[in-house]
C-alpha cells in the first residue's frame, strides 16, 4: 500500500514536470 502511494505521487510529479516542460513548446508550435 505505502509503496503504491509513493509510486502514484512520483507519477503525478513527473507528469506535472512534463506538462510544464511541454507547455511552452506547444505554445510556440501553435503561434508558429
Which whole-number Å values give the CA distances from 3 to 15, 17, 27, in the listed order? 18, 21, 36
For the chain, what are the domain ranges? 1-32
pTM (2 d.p.): 0.51
Instruction: For residue 29, name the pLDDT band (cuts at 50, 70, 90).
Output: low
Q: For the stretch 9-29, what's the b/e string if a residue is b when 16 or more beta carbons lie within 10 angstroms of its beta carbon?
A: eeeeeeeeeeeeeeeeeeeee
User: pLDDT averaged over the chain?
Assistant: 81
Average of per-residue pLDDT across 4-28:
83
Residue 1 DSSP class: -
Amino acid at each position: 500500500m505505502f509503496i503504491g502511494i509513493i509510486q502514484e505521487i512520483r507519477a503525478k510529479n513527473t507528469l506535472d514536470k512534463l506538462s510544464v516542460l511541454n507547455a511552452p513548446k506547444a505554445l510556440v508550435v501553435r503561434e508558429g
